[in-house]
Amino acid sequence: MNIEIVNGSDNTISFNLPVNQKVITLPSTENFITVQPTALVASVDTITRGDDVDLAADINVTNTDGAFTHVSSFSAGTSLESVLRQILEKYNRTSISLLGISRALQNTDNSYPVSSSEVTSNQTLEIGRGIRVDAFRVSIGDSSQTTDDSVKLLRGVTEVETGFSDTTGTKTLSSPDTQDPGSITSVSYKSTVIDDGGASEPDETLSSGVIKFEWKHRLRVGSSTSTALADDAAAQALFDGMSTAFDELRGESNFNVTANAGMDTASNYTWVVYPASFGDLSEILLGATDVLSDFESPVDKNLTNDYGVTTSYRFYRSTFDDAFSSGQVLTIKF
């Protein structure tokens, strides 16, 4: 839409609108820009266009309305058309999304598969199991708004690699990024790209969401005919060989276990096994009843997982065999 601006003989500025367009008068307290009385001057004395009317003085935008948050000032010499365009044609930043991470998981012999597979959400791994990140996949909202080859992959705040093309697709790392922690921790990957701001805004680095890898200990609840643990070897044999009703990677938080057939079998005792660093249990609830007193005092033994990490674990054993009926739900509380 073209708007003609009239510079009248009485030094006023008026607008000639196209057919079927109308002027809406806004309340004086809303949506206005405060300018100096002499801020506008026409370059000719006849009907002219907006690009022929320049600012004779700087304008500071004092209105705090959300419609003007993207403009703060206009310099003398700027055309009125440019002022209006900057107000009405707000620049919208594009976006970048991290769609997936291609990673390989370490084998128990410490080797890695040749090929990797993509994950699109967070993943939990057993402590000591490494990952090798080979590539990542991004989506760029509008690559015409981004700086060429400005895509980066970051692990936390550390740049893994930079200079990837600013287009949607899979980006392969020149050198894989390998992470192999031996303790409880997490790493998060994200991608960034530079939005060039068009003609009116400065460059800005845009960030995607993250895909996180967390390392946690393995917890188990199940049954075994073992009645005592003479040493670490006996504890390892029980942990590896029990009939598990619960087998998960998790942190120190309460959880529920549904009793299985092994826990409902004569000569089988129920065992609750978790890292000793979690401390003692506060309750084992069967419904609303605390049955912790039906377990023997715990003992601590060292266990080594499939990835070579040795950790002190705490073992609780039920006082009686065939302690629970299959299908009963226990709540284990720390």
List, for residues 101-111, the tens digit of each pLDDT value: 999 999 999 99
Average pLDDT score, the chain: 88
Question: Can you give the CATH number for the domain in which 123 is found?
Answer: 2.60.40
Neighbours of 288 (CB within 10 A): 6
Q: What is the pLDDT of residue 56?
A: 81
33 pLDDT above the threshold of 60:
no
320 pLDDT above the threshold of 80:
yes
Number of folded domains in the chain?
A: 3
Do 207 and 247 lie in one domain? The reply is no
Q: Which residue has the higher pLDDT, 283 or 24?
A: 283
Looking at 39, 70, 88, which one is the last position of a domain?
88
Q: How far is CA 305 from CA 80, 216, 253, in A?
A: 72, 12, 21
Do 176 and 224 lie in one domain? The reply is no
Q: What is the pLDDT of residue 43?
A: 47
Full domain range(s) for residue 16: 4-88
- Place 10 in a pLDDT band, splitting at 50, 70 and 90: low
pLDDT in tens, 158-209: 999 999 999 999 999 999 999 999 999 999 999 999 999 987 789 999 999 9
CA distance 260 to 246: 9
CA 21, chain centre distance (Å): 46
Say if strands 59-60 and 48-49 run parallel, antiparallel, or are unpaired.
unpaired
Q: Does the predicted model carry a pTM greater than 0.85? A: no
Do 249 and 329 lie in one domain? The reply is yes
Q: Cα torsion for 140, 142, 143, 147, to the nearest 10°?
A: -100
Looking at 41, 61, 88, which one is the last position of a domain?
88
CA distance 220 to 163: 45
Do 244 and 304 lie in one domain? The reply is yes
CB 313 within 8 A of CB 273: yes
Do 69 and 174 lie in one domain? The reply is no
Do 203 and 162 lie in one domain? The reply is yes
Do 49 and 102 lie in one domain? The reply is no
Do 9 and 103 lie in one domain? The reply is no
Do 118 and 163 lie in one domain? The reply is yes
Do 61 and 141 lie in one domain? The reply is no
Do 147 and 201 lie in one domain? The reply is yes
Residue with tokens 């969401």: 209
16 pLDDT above the threshold of 90:
no
- Tell me which residue of 13, 74, 75 sits closest to 43, measured CA to CA: 13
Do 141 and 60 lie in one domain? The reply is no
216 pLDDT above the threshold of 50:
yes
- Place 14 in a pLDDT band, splitting at 50, 70 and 90: low
Q: What is the pLDDT of residue 245?
A: 98
Looking at 215, 244, 260, which one is the last position of a domain?
215
- Place 6 in a pLDDT band, splitting at 50, 70 and 90: low
78's tokens: 């700027």
